Structure 1
Amino acid sequence: MVSVVRVSKFRHVFGEELQEKFEDLRPSTLSSESTLIKSNGTNIVFPWESGGAGVLAVFAMSEIGRIAPSHPFIRGHAGNILDYEFNPFNDFQLLSCGDDATLKLWDIPEGGLTADITVPRVSLSGHGKKVSLLNFHPSAAFLCASASFDKTIKVWNIENGSPALEISNINEIILSLQWSPIGRSIGYTTRDKYAKVSDPRIGRNVIEVLAHEGSKPSKMGWIDEDTIVTCGFSKMNDRQLSVWDLRNSQKIKTINIDQGSGVLYPFYDSDTKILFVAGKGDGNIRYYEIVGDDQYMYYVEAFRSNIPCRGISFIPKRKVDADSCEIMKAVKLTNNTVDLVSFKVPRRVESFQDDIYPDCISGEPAMSSSEWLSGTDREPRRAPIKQIDSSPARVELHVQPHSPAPVQHGQKSVKDYEKELNEAKATIKMQQQRIAELEAQLESKTKLE
């Protein structure tokens, strides 16, 4: 019998933890449905342990190494911060959300924070309960979806500062949220074990599938506009990976991975057609190649580590080191570090290997938010990776920075005054906490000197 070896440029991909890392960190122990850490290749962000209201640590990638305890932070939410996303078209803008039911857009200084930031560029209100998940549209500038414990998904036009669309026929808490690759649909999973796809421009679900039968949270991602991938648990608590054809709501394939307890998250790279799967509490990152034949996908390899991660995500493809045949790079949050894991295709020659780098997403919007809202769909802009400008993406927001509205007596309700009062009290509380931290740091440094 003749053995046939599967031919693929990505049959051998190896993950390696880089020597340099962010150290002496104090990440928050708060649980969240998000991946807990995000990076756009220019900056990284994760929640910081503060003992009070939510604090976000934002570090420039150039700050890699030991982080001083006196490093400044973002301190603008009146409660815990549950999710955050970098603007895909501006490397120096960050959107956050949390327990205070607001979304806040922050301007990040180039080179990193030099002082605490407490006032956002824009503050968005509209949800009735805490906001747990965010996801920017892949093609349209300043368009973002948010999921809340009020069991709604809102689509925000950030330039107008208001929700443009809403999906409200949701019966359970939302556990994951992601736009489709073109941005025509929004996919999400819920506590009732279903994965759902909704068209936000008509405001209702178009597809629902029972993703996994286990009681633990399931997460989802997209392969293409007609295919989703879900990670969850079986009735026997096996961790599972499933792929679904949305054209007929049928399962293409399910893989039982192991009996681990950590929730798995899928990360798909459409350029190489490799699906990375990583989980909180895991040290391993598994990856599969999507081929589309009878087997559909094949296990490639796993990056293995005995240090479990608290959160993980991947930087945009335009930020990888193409000269070293790096095809993906992950940022991994541990108890006190952020580690970088590089995935490379080994090649003997040292020149640029164009066969493993199809045109990648460029970091430029393909349309405005108003174009998408009027019914237009466009694929994300792509360009050869070697032709993409190495300078950060920076599409500007055409609104004025946030400033308090003037008081107009006789036009506010009791609830308006109560809201302003609570926000003012929360701001005072955050500043008092910051004063206490600075006093403790000053006392410690004084003793050393």
Structure 2
Amino acid sequence: MTVTKMSWRPTYRSSKFRNVYGKVANREHCFEGIPITKNVHDNHFCAVNAKFLAIVTESAGGGSFVVIPVTQFGRIDPHYPKVCGHQGNVLDIKWNPFHENIIASCSEDSSVRIWEIPDGGLRRNLTESVLELYGHSRRVGLIEWHPTTSGILFSAGYDYKILIWNLEIGEPVKMIDCHTDVILCMSFNTEGSLLATSCKDKKLRVIEPRSGKVLQILIWNLEIGEPVKMIDCHTDVILCMSFNTEGSLLATSCKDKKLRVIEPRSGKVLQLQGDGNIRYYEFTLEKPYLQYLMEFRSPAPQKGLGVMPKHGLDVGACEVFRFYKLVTLKGLIEPISMIVPRRSETYQEDIYPMTPGTEPALSADEWLSGINRGPVLVSLKEGYNRANKLVFKAPVKDKKGGVVNGIDLLENVPPRTENELLRMFFRQQEELRRLKDELTQKDIKIRQLELELNNIRNSPNINNNNNNSSNGSSI
């Protein structure tokens, strides 16, 4: 297999993004004073959409995250309301792509929860979720919403399983059980018909999510810079990945500091390059596939990054990308924009192609039945600022188990956290006391009835009546 090895040194070609540059927001447009989590779990701990910025926070006695309107810049009050219903550290948060007030979270308490944030943000701590989902036997490290379907959520746990949740019924409808270690990343192609996963077992899998069929397993041999099947002789793992817009190519990054472009169905490596710096690339269908554009450097290391959806960008400023950088030591969230320098004040249609909006292309039942459909595309010409018409509907909350692939997911689930175990213990003790009291009251009632029955039997009136009945019976 031939691999194209390149230096990071740019070989320029014509590109409309050729002069893109990174612009850090002024201090007054940053978010300060946020107790960003110190958890070492490999995740971004941040999620953003056109309305809200959510950040996982450091807290005692359970997991929490804050939700701040994206226009509410400045220093955040230490007592700012939090979403704090989990009994363990929150490990991942993701906004629903079709309803900007709905966010999903997963935690060390083995649960996935769905929350609804009121317009304008929180006024008090939010402890009651819209939906609680239990199905993993260990902590849940990753969640992803399906990119084109409403009400479908994927969760990956430390039990090495991926569960597909239908939120319209509040239950898992599919379990993907093909991994042998912790799942590190999940990524969909554009229409959501393929799921790519990276795993701590150093394999990259391309999966058909509805059937669970593994189409391709790639194992990297770092000595030759190629993926080879069923040969495990490398030392590093794949950290993250992303499909291109068309879903025909997959870019992966690895701990060996190299960026690869592969064809997901064949496993063919088209390009291999990389070193230690952060750079911008244009992802294209023609060689060299990844085109170097610009380098952005910052002295402050980041804990994680939140990425603004396209319809939340400032098209008037020719902003083509914005991410929110978490700086833990300063409790700082720093917006950083990628700007294409243009002098014209008119809409730059060439740098803003039609992009996925907030309308789902499929219902959960349609996707589960086997239908594939690309995202509903919209133009950003008018700033794409409209009210969301989708109404989130959640089933009645019920912590019931689900049977997936013939397996009862909650049959042997161990206690999730010490706090929750104590709560369960006290609840059971209280229930036991209640049952004992109820049994005692019933015993007393039974004894009372027995005494009354004996009194009735020994009553003189009853005996006289019995004698009279006997005397009057002779003929």
Q: How far is 1:7 from its partner?
A: 1.4
**Residue matched to 2:239:** 218
Q: Deviations over 1:156-189 (max 9, x none)?
A: 1011101111111211111111222110011110
**Residue matched to 1:9:** 16
- Three-state SS of the structure 1 residue aligned to 2:275 is strand
Give the alignment partner of residue 381 of structure 2, picking from 386, 402, 407.
386
- Three-state SS of the structure 1 residue aligned to 2:31 is coil
Q: How far is 1:37 from its partner?
A: 1.0
Cα distance change on mapping 1:140 and 1:41 into 2, 3 Å: same
Give the alignment partner of residue 354 of structure 1, picking from 326, 349, 356.
349
Report if aligned partners of 1:89, 1:141 keep a CA contact under 8 Å in 2: yes
Give the alignment partner of residue 344 of structure 1, picking from 317, 339, 357.
339
Cα distance change on mapping 1:420 and 1:172 into 2, 3 Å: closer
Give the alignment partner of residue 37 of structure 1, picking from 38, 42, 46.
46
Q: Which amino acid letter does the alignment assign opposite residue 41 of structure 1?
A: A
Cα distance change on mapping 1:218 and 1:357 into 2, 3 Å: same
Report if aligned partners of 2:132, 2:398 keep a CA contact under 8 Å in 1: no
Distance 2:50 2:283 in 1: 25
Cα distance change on mapping 1:134 and 1:5 into 2, 3 Å: closer
Q: Deviations over 1:228-270 (max 9, x none)?
A: 1110133xxxx11111112321111011222xxxxxxxxxxxx
Q: Which has the larger radius of gyration?
A: 2
Q: Deviations over 1:30-83 (max 9, x none)?
A: 022322211012111121111331111111112211100110101111111111
**Residue matched to 1:300:** 293
Q: Which amino acid letter does the alignment assign opposite residue 239 of structure 2?
A: S
Report if aligned partners of 1:21, 1:339 keep a CA contact under 8 Å in 2: yes
Q: How far is 1:393 from its partner?
A: 3.5
**Residue matched to 1:227:** 249
Q: How far is 1:353 from its partner?
A: 1.2
State TM-score, norm by structure 2: 0.77
Q: How does 1:133-282 map to 2 (within 5 A)?
A: 133-211=142-220, 213-216=234-237, 218-223=239-244, 224-234=246-256, 239-258=257-276
Matched, 1:370 2:365: yes
Q: Deviations over 1:188-244 (max 9, x none)?
A: 10112111111121122111112464435521111243321110133xxxx111111
- Three-state SS of the structure 1 residue aligned to 2:74 is coil
Report if aligned partners of 2:110, 2:416 keep a CA contact under 8 Å in 1: no
The structure whose RCO (Cα within 8 Å, separation 6+) is larger is 2
Report if aligned partners of 2:216, 2:265 keep a CA contact under 8 Å in 1: no
**Residue matched to 1:53:** 62
Distance 2:70 2:147 in 1: 23
Report if aligned partners of 2:355, 2:379 keep a CA contact under 8 Å in 1: yes
Structure 2 residues not aligned, in runs of 5+:
1-10, 223-233, 401-409, 427-475
Q: CA RMSD in A?
A: 2.6
- Three-state SS of the structure 1 residue aligned to 2:335 is strand
Q: How far is 1:320 from its partner?
A: 0.3
Cα distance change on mapping 1:21 and 1:249 into 2, 3 Å: same
Report if aligned partners of 1:16, 1:303 keep a CA contact under 8 Å in 2: no
**Residue matched to 1:440:** none
Cα distance change on mapping 1:326 and 1:416 into 2, 3 Å: closer
- Three-state SS of the structure 1 residue aligned to 2:126 is coil
Report if aligned partners of 1:33, 1:176 keep a CA contact under 8 Å in 2: no
Distance 2:425 2:353 in 1: 51
Cα distance change on mapping 1:243 and 1:14 into 2, 3 Å: same
- Three-state SS of the structure 2 residue aligned to 1:103 is strand
Q: How many residues align?
A: 390
Cα distance change on mapping 1:241 and 1:154 into 2, 3 Å: same
Give the alignment partner of residue 77 of structure 2, picking from 65, 68, 73.
68
Task: Choose 36-45 or 13-22, whichever is displaced more.
Answer: 36-45
- Three-state SS of the structure 2 residue aligned to 1:76 is strand
Report if aligned partners of 1:129, 1:149 keep a CA contact under 8 Å in 2: yes
- Three-state SS of the structure 2 residue aligned to 1:349 is coil
Q: How far is 1:381 from its partner?
A: 0.6
Report if aligned partners of 1:228, 1:245 keep a CA contact under 8 Å in 2: yes
**Residue matched to 1:270:** none
- Three-state SS of the structure 2 residue aligned to 1:318 is helix
Distance 1:99 1:171 in 2: 20
Distance 2:312 2:286 in 1: 31
Distance 2:306 2:255 in 1: 21
Distance 1:50 1:29 in 2: 10
Q: How far is 1:116 from its partner?
A: 0.3
- Three-state SS of the structure 2 residue aligned to 1:218 is strand
Q: How far is 1:417 from its partner?
A: 12
Cα distance change on mapping 1:347 and 1:150 into 2, 3 Å: same
Distance 2:396 2:297 in 1: 45
Distance 2:414 2:199 in 1: 35
Distance 2:289 2:418 in 1: 57
Cα distance change on mapping 1:189 and 1:287 into 2, 3 Å: same
Report if aligned partners of 2:169, 2:395 keep a CA contact under 8 Å in 1: no
- Three-state SS of the structure 2 residue aligned to 1:55 is strand
Distance 1:309 1:172 in 2: 27
Report if aligned partners of 2:278, 2:297 keep a CA contact under 8 Å in 1: yes
Distance 1:362 1:144 in 2: 18
**Residue matched to 1:286:** 279
Report if aligned partners of 1:326, 1:345 keep a CA contact under 8 Å in 2: yes
Report if aligned partners of 1:91, 1:392 keep a CA contact under 8 Å in 2: no
Q: How far is 1:314 from its partner?
A: 1.1
**Residue matched to 2:462:** none
- Three-state SS of the structure 1 residue aligned to 2:63 is coil
Q: How far is 1:428 from its partner?
A: 12
